[in-house]
Structure 1
């Protein structure tokens, strides 16, 4: 009798049934030895060895069914074929070559600690395992070493801690794991679950909740903003700015509502147009309308804002247009420096003449009446020149932070990117939840709530020239000096020269009482200094004109490096001063007398023209402005006139308007009668 070898497939393995020809008896080892022929010797020895290795615990072993593992299929078939009694139509299997892939198994939830495994198609083995083979075949040591090199280059280092072999600093985990996933590595968490880079963002109970496979895949700055609860990172909604960078990550799955919010904060996508109410008496430029849209978007979502457009772009008009949309019985509180309160009254009267729910106060008033205002509820709170609360420990800043309003808006044209304490203090008022003091983390959180446009960004919307009047409220001390002098004027029988002398002195007091021998500092120069510094901080160039050279000298004391030009400057020096202003970026400020610097100069490098005191003739002032705005000027020029409220300066402006003559027709004082001049002094 002889032995037959019947084969069939079982996946990649092979089932061998050894049968005695003409018999169905069960074959044991001694039976096989008795029946086997010389031609069976190699095949039987090979199959018996395999069968015995997988059945060591059985006392009696049958050889009717033997399972040959994939690694030995080819050799088994070749040996059985030699017997000439191989039965079965299964083709000879060519064992595929070994392949290996890296497998990183994390040992903690942060992803800092890990072990490196090698994943073969026949099984897995730890990289540090000294076994030379896997499933009877030689490991691909060269490829394995390459994978470890990749792991080390990605950011992990060899470091034995407990049962782990590799360590990655926490600040590098995210970058490292994302890189490994991107190049096809398998990564498993501590529970051996496969890891992907996908993060889920959704809202739960007013919080923004982030979930991901492990903490290590979250940016360190994002983790610093939130609190971990289990495997979820929870942030306050006001901190959504911290996760806006995730918008560019295709692996992040956003809840639809939060996605709309994040996209709106990031790029304005989905922000609806919010036109002013019909009661608003003005026309907005395109970029100003976008500012109103942005404010409305933040208001609808319950956020506050810092409107930080460059000086001259119309922050006030944007705020008033936005406020016109608010249908509420609650008042709107506007806090501004004392010198600017009249400006606000004037702008409200111009753009919202029928609105009566505004409360205008100074920062001093706020500080002195802190308790009264902190107990009130406001629909909106506006802080103009909000750098007034840049120091969080001051009483003014603390009083502001106690105010309650549905939306709070800070207005400031001063860039604050490199002044972390000033940023923090203002946002502590706007969003008390944002308590982060780390400047990089804070910037990321607050960026969506700051709108800052520079002239260049909105140039297409701007006219060639923008002219404004800055109405300045005198301090009580300055007002006392002014009224004392005015009441001492005797007009009985006064000649025109005496009247002009009195007018001159009042105009000088409006500029600065020090021009008439007082030690009181004028309100105008305080505002001018603030405006000049703001412009220079933005790398802008500024012209400052005054009719009084003594006033220019006072201004010069504040800006000792300023260029200077009056009638006493020689022609050669005059040309050099102009050249420096036009060409030297380190010469941003030029002080000029109105007569000497108002004609014949090319000063097109200027961005701002500040007219410190008014002249009778608007044409003379326009000539001064046109030194900056001439052929060749490709940018908008902002011109600002500084006028004191309730003084002779305001009366001069009114009188010029009443005369109903163009500025070109009024040549200095020739358009004003003696009676006109007397009227100015009453």
Structure 2
């Protein structure tokens, strides 16, 4: 019966003639494009037949406006269950609010609540049900789900979960956030109840077909929502041998066709391209090292190469995370000498001496970070950590931390990845700078508990001291190496900046004074400045994407020195500051530059006010860069778009470009699991290539 329903859904064609398509709702003040009309028609038909679905249009084709049109076209007729819940990444919640406010005619206004951060109140589901739309984040539903399961906070009543909590419609934006079925964020999403459920994602499968199961389970597509059934007919057959099962692939294609609509920028409707965007011109710009920077890079490359070769010989990809940290060091050394320098060495401007120490620290020195203040863990914290199961999540970003990832325990007993721990430290640096205090107060993102950096330790160090962790089947058994890696990361230069970009003049002066003590530019900073200067002379706004927070800070100083008004956007900013930054860049004609973290700025945002994107440091997966460029080259862009990639020749970056081209060909033809998985992970031969190690 369930399979028959899926086959029947194939009749819900999205290839309708113009006369069969739904028109733009009268309550929407923008006209839907033909492919968006098709999307609205398809989504409405699914809801009318009580089916759920996935809108998987490529980024930039207007998934948000199609979902908004559905909300207006197909409103609930039951006043007791009228609310649409939208769950989105933090960076997009206010964009959703803006879209609703700006694209809905005033006489058809949708009452909207943003439930996040300082906007959170002690509300319950009854209060939520008074609104047409409630917008929240994946972090919020995860936290509320934990409270619900632990039966805490019941005095205010149920919020998102419980027998009485059924929404009219749920929309998961960037639904790849729940791709790992084992995570708490996925568990929270699965527990949400609604009459209609939707997933919006341009990348519903990034690594393997296994990730698609989470979407199927959330959308309750029977019988495939059973993990055993999905694995038996699709999952396992697609993993056997070099030639995936043709039958399993056909089943997957049928399943996709029945519940998914996907168009790309190359798709056509009625014989015409889906989109007619302005042209995009990609160009590689080569920056040059000065003699001092060149000597520094060569020394780092030599040391990193020696370590990488030993890791390959000893442990291969079992030491994958350590290899990526070494690769990180090489890439940072291309950007600026300060980005991979020790803090103390920075004060003495002894750049060449620190390169040797930063890439390989003494084992005894490295051990300290694992043992310092380990005894400050409370009995409750120890109990909590020892009860962890196999799937350990970062308490900040909610990502599952696989065995090869360095997992860090804070004294409150919560686990963090290195990247999130550094963001916590950076926020503390900012608060310290604002207050003028010399004390650094760090607080856990999950519980708010205070701690000192010297009090953290790796999960393996915890297991050595307190015994094995329940459900954790293996450890690294290489704690010395792991702690050395962590020590390198934690001792990375931390240049402070304003949490809201450069909005505070007083703070800007303090930052500038701090950086100018030993200020030195780099070839890439100079090249980026040349591009920005030319753009400003033409009245063109520029987006600069980098993977390193330190480069954001350094580029801020370049802009300030030149007299250019700029603003920053990175993962350490609160949702309110992010919204303020986006609004300022979009509306202030004098703000000509936005400097963005590649990870924080590569999804969902609409920044077509800019028409030039600079990729400051290349990433091995070109699709991540494409998502970032999609912030500019998308619907609404009126100007030709230029993309500038900054590269230093004869470095690891040359090899990354070559690898990108190989992976791009895989992405273009990635229709099976093998292709998808090839994009997601660097192979041993690719790592050897990146490090310039002969086979």
Q: Which has the higher contact order (CA 8 A, sep 6+)?
A: 2
Q: TM-score range by the shorter chain?
A: 0.3 to 0.5
Comparing both structures, which one devotes a greater share of its residues to helix? 2
Alignment TM-score, normalising by the size of structure 2: 0.36
* Larger of the two Rg values belongs to structure: 1
